[in-house]
Amino acid sequence: MTTLRWTTGAAVLLLISGLTGAALSAQELTTTQFERRASGESAVAVEVRYGAGEFDLAPAATGLLYRAVLHYDEEDFEPVHRFADGRLVVGVEGTSRSRPLRQSSSDARLQLRLSRTVPQDLRLELGAVRAQLDLGGIALSGLHLSTGASDTRISATEPNPAEMEELRFAVGAASLRADGLGYLGARRIQVEGGVGEVRLGLEGLERQETEVSASVGMGALEIRVPEGVGIRLTRSSFLSSLNAPFLERRGDAHYSDDWDTADRRVRISVDSALGSVRIARTDH
Amino acid sequence: MYKHRDVRGLIPHGFPIVVAALAALLLLLPRAGVAQERDVVYNQVTVSSQEAGIDLEFADGSALSVTFRDGQVRIDGSTVGAYTPGGTLESSWRRLLGDAVAGDNGEVVRLLADWSPPEGLAESSAEAAAALHAALQQVAAPGTPEPVRTLGLEGDEDLLRSLLLEPAYLRSLTALALEGSFRPDRFVIDEDVRIEAGESLVGSMLALDSRVQVDGTLDGDLVLLGGLLRLGEAGRITGDLRWAEGEIPDDRSGVAGSASAIEPVLGLSTSELQDRIRSEVRAATADRERTTRRTSRTFGFGSGVLGGLAGLVQAAVTFGIFLAVGLAILHFFPRHIDIVSRTVLHAPGRSFLVGIAGGILSVPIWVTGMIVLAISVIGIPVLLLWIPAFPILVAAAMILGYIAVSRNVGHWVSHRDLQGLEGMDTSRPAVQIGVGLLVLIGAFAVASVLQIGGMIFSPFAILLNILGVVLTVAAGSIGLGAVLLSRAGRDPSFAGDARWTTDPDFDPWAPSPDPFRPEPEPAAPRDRDPFTPGGQDAPPADEPGPNPDEEPK
């Protein structure tokens, strides 16, 4: 009887795995590229909607306004591309033919290249995405990243050609690591974290006054501030820890020792419920 | 006598459109290979298993679209030829688009302009490749395009007709166009032209069916298609002389450049062309015929057959999936499904009411849970779990309940004396689940079979579909209620006798007793039939014997 049980169980598993395998083997990716040259645009609002897969963002070649290359399973997804009146929408969205057994998002990929010269207000809505954003050199007037369960790496190694007012991150159960945010020159950086890990590196900071506001539910937040930049930290927390040994408490705030003399300053405001907050120094 | 005519500024009225097109092509050809890419403002490349294409938009508002799909090459929506899927031409085209996508620096235009057809193509593919190559050459245009002459069609219909009937001229013009070395500044058609002694005419000339007398100097090239050329003693042509079907003097010492006949482009003879046209017409007619027949089938009898077959396949797939899930549940959670089945059996009404209530309240509960978790800071992490987990749990409960109801239905059915079940051991729960699913899903399958039968059976098919929906809703509600009542098969309070739930030797795959059979009346002691083994009270041979695991009722 035991043999019968296990045989039947194995048969069921084989049936299910066979169905899944057949679905996977039938997966064929489609590649679509959209490329547009800059032709006098003064500003562009860019909206990226990408649910699952890999996302790669970098500056475009000279003269290009944008370039998007999408790899997707056309059985389950269809590309989204609209450009009109200075607004670009790009990404993929599911079709009515989507099949739940398929894992077609595993090989899906979006490569996006954005202009170095035309100021762009960039909004990214990412789902379960592994994202690599090289923002150095892209002309960004604003950046709003909303991510659910993605693993996002942001880097910037050269100054932002455009003036940026605000940089916003809304992170759910995701991992976000950003280096070189100082190069983007945002006047205000705002972070809303859920349960993920967030690390913000302010390397390349040139602005005299920068405001960082972080609201974290549960999880870890680390902010890395370059040497020579004055720090003022205020926090409102509940059952959360703060690790910033080089900050000195004065009244309701914590200050770095060079706060009064520094020509560049960062005002950090942290509101955390659970988890940990760490402020660290970096060389750049 | 020749008509003497000064050719300066000569542009004939009514220049035929065919010649105009070819002449315009001549004018547009690049000089000495010096070319500049046109300003492409937008390009879209799509490469999939079924299609490989590119769309271009130019700064002047024009566009170019090239698509390989279904064995046909289309340029701007028009089919220009065929290709062999997986063949040399398609591979070359896909490689080009692959390079364009991989380039990552806006090199699409240069790549397209540099593309050339691969060698050794079949005739049909070669035709498509040539058209494609010509189209892609539009991407590269001269840096400073000169205005093309405006040529009209005012009369000269006879000449147009004669040109169309004289393919040698057209092939010669095509050859010149492909050589790209000749750019006429003047056109002469059916005219007598004379350059007087001492007169100099600057610019190249194309003469069709004309008589050209050169006593002075033609500072440029001369192309003669038909007609004749006379070179005077002092007559000079500083460029090249090319001709086809014309009368040319043997003494061509007055020609400074080369003098040679035009090798027409190899093409089809008139008869071959006619054959090709006939075959194309036949193919198009056959396609149309096929399309018409297919359409008539699709909207007539065929729609019922296709719909019915699709319904049958859908029912079969649904049955297979539920059976697989049911067997998995039976294997991994045998006691849970047993308790749910017995809860359905012993409290069907209560299960139905609870199931209906649970189904209706599930959505408000889900939304309320989201709101409560969202407004509480600590609940935010749970919210991320709650949103997907709750609907999954409800769906899982409904499936578990539906399988349990199926088992009971199968149990009941299998203990009727039904034809077709004789060879099956219907006392086993796995078989009961299968039989029950057949009954519950069978209404949809039978409806699909009736649909195949045509319009006359439609009312019955509709009724059976309604019956299937009612059965599904009832089974789902009762099952969900039983799952809730039994706390997913862990609480046997409504399951009646449940001694087996704690029996360590319980085997879910073993035959089980018929719970629907009424308790036998205690029989009065009778004399045993001495001729029957076991006496008269022995069960019939085709009925299962008593289960040793079953507790006597």
Spatial neighbors of B209 by CB under 8 A, at least 6 apart, are B159, B162, B189, B190, B225, B226, B227
Using a CB-CB cut-off of 8 Å, the residues of chain B touching A217 are 377, 380-381
- Domain range spanning residue B200? 149-261
Strand B236-237: give its sheet, edge to edge: B200-202, B217-219, B236-237
Q: Among A188, A191, A180, which residue's Cα sits nearest to residue A164?
A: A188
Q: Among B169, B80, B55, which residue's Cα sits nearest to residue B132?
A: B80
In angstroms, the Cα distances linking B221 to B16, B215, B426 are: 22, 15, 98
Report yes or no: B378 at the A interface, CB cutoff 8 Å: yes
Place of tokens 């300003």: B39
Taking the C-alpha atoms of residue B83 and residue B68, their distance in angstroms, rounded to an integer, is 8
Contact A35 B43 (CB under 8 A): yes
Report yes or no: B42 at the A interface, CB cutoff 8 Å: yes
- pLDDT value for B8: 36
Residue A275 near residue A216 (C-beta atoms within 8 A): yes
In angstroms, the Cα distances linking B163 to A240, B159, B226, B303, B544 are: 91, 6, 11, 53, 96
Contact B381 A39 (CB under 8 A): no
Q: Among A249, A255, A168, which residue's Cα sits nearest to residue A213?
A: A168
In angstroms, the Cα distances linking B250 to B193, B243, B259, B260, B278 are: 20, 13, 11, 12, 43
- pLDDT value for A114: 95
Using a CB-CB cut-off of 8 Å, the residues of chain B touching A171 are none
Using a CB-CB cut-off of 8 Å, the residues of chain B touching A9 are 327-328, 331-332
Using a CB-CB cut-off of 8 Å, the residues of chain A touching B328 are 9, 12-13, 16
In the structure encoding, which two tokens stand for residue B45, read together? Answer: 């490349």
Report yes or no: A238 at the B interface, CB cutoff 8 Å: yes
| B21 within a domain of the structure (yes/no) | no
Contact A31 B101 (CB under 8 A): yes
Residue B442 and residue B380 share a domain: yes
Contact A33 B328 (CB under 8 A): no
Taking the C-alpha atoms of residue B173 and residue B191, their distance in angstroms, rounded to an integer, is 19
Q: pLDDT category, A272, cuts 50, 70, 90?
A: confident
- In B179-218, the residues whose Cβ lies within 8 Å of chain A are none
Residue B292 and residue B225 share a domain: no
Report yes or no: A74 at the B interface, CB cutoff 8 Å: yes
Contact B46 A28 (CB under 8 A): no
Min Cα–Cα distance to chain B from A266, Å: 27
- In B2-21, the residues whose Cβ lies within 8 Å of chain A are none
Q: pLDDT category, A122, cuts 50, 70, 90?
A: very high
- Domain range spanning residue A65? 2-282
Residue B196 and residue B314 share a domain: no
Q: Select from B47, B106, B320 the Cβ nearest to the Cβ of A30.
A: B47
Q: Which amino acid is at A110?
A: L
Task: Among B141, B172, B196, identify where a domain stops.
Answer: B141
Spatial neighbors of A18 by CB under 8 A, at least 6 apart, are none
| B495 within a domain of the structure (yes/no) | yes
CA quadruple A192, A195, A196, A200: dihedral positive or negative? Answer: positive
Residue B318 and residue B441 share a domain: yes
Residue B123 and residue B81 share a domain: yes
Contact B509 A37 (CB under 8 A): no
**A181 vs B146, higher pLDDT:** A181
Spatial neighbors of A121 by CB under 8 A, at least 6 apart, are A43, A44, A45, A46, A140, A141, A142, A143
Number of domains in chain A: 1
Place of tokens 């969900």: B480
- CB contacts < 8 Å between A and B, how many? 96
| B553 within a domain of the structure (yes/no) | no
Taking the C-alpha atoms of residue A177 and residue A260, their distance in angstroms, rounded to an integer, is 30
Q: Which residue of B has its CA nearest to A239?
A: B378
Using a CB-CB cut-off of 8 Å, the residues of chain A touching B377 are 217, 238, 273
Taking the C-alpha atoms of residue A284 and residue B328, their distance in angstroms, rounded to an integer, is 58
- In A40-59, the residues whose Cβ lies within 8 Å of chain B are none
Report yes or no: B331 at the A interface, CB cutoff 8 Å: yes
In angstroms, the Cα distances linking A276 to A192, A243, B111, B369, B376 are: 14, 8, 53, 27, 19
**Quick one: B401 exposed, middle or buried, by C-beta within 10 A (0-12, 13-18, 19+)?**
buried
Using a CB-CB cut-off of 8 Å, the residues of chain B touching A67 are 104, 106
Read off the CATH number of the domain in which A262 is found: 2.160.20
- Tell which of B38, B39, B40, B42 to mutate to test the A interface (max A CBs under 10 Å): B42
Using a CB-CB cut-off of 8 Å, the residues of chain B touching A273 are 377-378
Contact A218 B324 (CB under 8 A): no
Rounded to the nearest 5°, which phi and psi values hold at B92?
-65, -40
- pLDDT value for B298: 40
**Quick one: B349 exposed, middle or buried, by C-beta within 10 A (0-12, 13-18, 19+)?**
exposed
Report yes or no: B332 at the A interface, CB cutoff 8 Å: yes
Report yes or no: B317 at the A interface, CB cutoff 8 Å: no
Rounded to the nearest 5°, which phi and psi values hold at B81?
165, -175
Chunked mean pLDDT (size 10), chain B, 553 residues: 39 44 47 51 89 88 90 89 88 89 71 84 84 80 39 45 60 67 73 84 83 89 87 88 85 87 64 59 57 43 68 88 89 85 86 89 87 76 85 90 89 68 69 86 84 73 86 90 88 68 54 50 43 40 42 39
Task: Among B106, B141, B176, identify where a domain stops.
Answer: B141
Q: Let me know how long chain B is.
A: 553
Report yes or no: B375 at the A interface, CB cutoff 8 Å: no
Contact B106 A172 (CB under 8 A): no
Residue B173 and residue B64 share a domain: no
Q: Which amino acid is at B382?
A: V
Residue B434 and residue B370 share a domain: yes
| B6 within a domain of the structure (yes/no) | no
Contact B49 A28 (CB under 8 A): yes
Report yes or no: B44 at the A interface, CB cutoff 8 Å: yes
- pLDDT value for B532: 38
Report yes or no: B430 at the A interface, CB cutoff 8 Å: yes
Number of domains in chain B: 4
Q: Select from B39, B104, B324 the Cβ nearest to the Cβ of A15.
A: B324
Taking the C-alpha atoms of residue B435 and residue B414, their distance in angstroms, rounded to an integer, is 7
In the structure encoding, which two tokens stand for residue B321, read together? Answer: 């999936």
Helical segments of B243-379, H only: 270-299, 301-332, 334-346, 348-375
pLDDT average, residue stretch A141-145:
95
Residue B317 and residue B254 share a domain: no
Q: Among A109, A93, A127, A106, which residue's Cα sits nearest to residue A23?
A: A106
First-to-last alpha carbon distance for chain B, in angstroms, is 131
Taking the C-alpha atoms of residue A105 and residue A86, their distance in angstroms, rounded to an integer, is 30
Taking the C-alpha atoms of residue A165 and residue A187, their distance in angstroms, rounded to an integer, is 5
- pLDDT value for B181: 62
In the 8-state DSSP scheme, what is residue B121?
Answer: -
Is B357 in a helix, a strand, or coil?
helix
Residue B274 and residue B399 share a domain: no
Min Cα–Cα distance to chain B from A262, Å: 37
Q: pLDDT category, A210, cuts 50, 70, 90?
A: very high
Contact A39 B41 (CB under 8 A): yes
Q: Which range among A105-114, A171-180, B136-145, B510-519 shows the weakest confidence by mean pLDDT?
A: B510-519
Contact A273 B377 (CB under 8 A): yes
Residue B323 and residue B290 share a domain: no
| B278 within a domain of the structure (yes/no) | yes
Q: Which range among A26-35, A130-139, B143-152, B157-166 shows the weakest confidence by mean pLDDT?
A: B143-152
Using a CB-CB cut-off of 8 Å, the residues of chain B touching A23 are none
Using a CB-CB cut-off of 8 Å, the residues of chain A touching B56 are none
Spatial neighbors of B150 by CB under 8 A, at least 6 apart, are none
| B549 within a domain of the structure (yes/no) | no
Q: Let me know how long chain A is.
A: 284
Contact B509 A4 (CB under 8 A): yes
Residue B434 and residue B289 share a domain: no
- pLDDT value for A204: 93
Residue B351 and residue B289 share a domain: no
Spatial neighbors of A193 by CB under 8 A, at least 6 apart, are A169, A171, A214, A215, A216, A217, A219, A221
Q: Cβ–Cβ contacts within 10 Å for residue B402, how many? A: 24
Q: Select from A16, A34, A172 the Cβ nearest to the Cβ of B324.
A: A16
Using a CB-CB cut-off of 8 Å, the residues of chain B touching A274 are 378
